[in-house]
Chains A and B, each alone.
Chain A
Amino acid sequence: MRRRASLVLLALAVFCVAMAPTLRWYAFPRLAKIPPNQYQETVLEAQPATLLNYSTLKAEKVDKITIIQTLKGNVEESRRIERDAGRDVVVWDALAYITGPDGKMVSQVPERYIFDAHTQDPVNATGESVDGDPVRREGIEFKWPFLTEKRDYQYFDAQTRTSSPIHYKGTRTFRGMEVYYFEQTIPWTKVPMPKSMPVKIPPEVIAESGLTRWYTTKRMFWIEPVTGAPVNGEEIHKEELRNARALMGVDTLTVFEGHVKMREDYIESVGEMVASNRLTVLLLVSYVPWSLTFLALLLLALALWLEARSRRPAPEPAAPLTPPVSAARS
């Protein structure tokens, strides 16, 4: 009986010890993925900011600039690309819509971002674009990979349409959560004119006048490393129009300048969502595998103990009791 129990325990121990690494290194990379139908909006604000008033052609201080950023998973497009790519793909149609203090549009940048649902590596496919221009991303955008590492990543900048390193600058605590802090500085770079502007300037007029748009930014992200999700983001952003004398009377005009931060209610909302997803990922990569490992050791020890007890030699049988011989009475 004991020997049979020890064999059952051994089978369970083998199951646990094999299941632990299987979950961590086989199941997790295949099961953890970004759903293709995700919809997420984020509101960022710069308070105060400098904004070009196109009616006076002067840069003015304003109370607030609002950036409404929407990410919408396009399921039909992801299925179409998956057929060719042969892997799980997510297609995000994104829009950064910038409004002035009066709520009117200042600028808008639509994007299509295509990436691997498991690794978040960019997938170069037809349709990948920024503001209607085809692009070829080489870095991540919006989200870091699951189990983010303490290293620099290539990050795609939508304004310059190029990828450059975003540097890991250390581990911080953000609202009680351990996060990795990343920073990227884009130096002054000539960038294309946005297709949507508050005033319509025909492209040929811009080309004739020699007007150019320049941009610099310092981008900061606080990344929860288990999920790779940003729990906070900020940007110190400056944009100028240069060679503007022919059209606007001055050489250089500030179009926008401000320190853009995520709005408090969105920081809280994203924090709650990340905490919930973090638990799910941790269950697969840490909690369940480690519990199975400890359980395997316990079961193995118990199996060995039972086996040892079953092999212990049986105690010698006690000598039969002989009744005392009573003296025969004569």
Chain B
Amino acid sequence: MRALVAAAIGLAPVLLFILLVSVVDLPPDGPTSPKPLLTADPGPKK
């Protein structure tokens, strides 16, 4: 019985993590880049 309780305690944070991933949206990624679509060679890549 105590082993079952220990297993349940171990599973609880995993279930919480699953719930968190399914409910919480990833943080927004920011706005569209202000850089233009290029019409000239931007030169050597740094």
Residues of A within 8 A of B (CB): 3, 7-8, 10-15, 18-19, 22, 26-27, 30-31, 33, 35-39, 41, 43, 66, 68, 70, 72-76, 93-95, 97, 99, 103, 105, 108, 110, 263, 265-266, 268-269
| A97 and B38 in contact, given A15-B10, A18-B11, A37-B32 (Cβ under 8 angstroms) | yes
Contact A105–B39 (Cβ < 8 Å): yes
Distance of A7 Cα from B21 Cα, bound (Å): 28
B10 touches A75 (CB 8 A): no
Size band of the interface chain B makes with A: 20 to 34
Q: In whole angstroms, how far apart are the Cα atoms of A263 and B35 in the complex? A: 21
Question: Lowest 5 CB-CB distances: which A-B pairs, in order?
Answer: A14-B10, A39-B33, A11-B10, A95-B37, A265-B45
Determine if A37 and B31 form an interchain contact, defined as CB atoms under 8 angstroms apart: yes
Instruction: Kindly state the separation between the CA atoms of A35 and B26 in the bound complex, as whole angstroms.
Output: 10
Q: Which residues of A contact B31 (CB under 8 A)?
A: 37, 75
Contact A103 B32 (CB under 8 A): no
Q: Please give, as numbers and ranges, the residues of chain B lying within 8 Å of A105 by CB-CB distance.
A: 39
Tell me which residues across on chain A come within 8 A of B38, comparing CB atoms: 41, 68, 70, 95, 97
Q: What CA separation (Å) do A36 and B32 show in the bound complex? A: 8
Query: How distant is the Cα of A76 from the Cα of B33 in the complex, in angstroms?
Result: 11
- Min CB–CB distance A99 → chain B (angstroms): 7
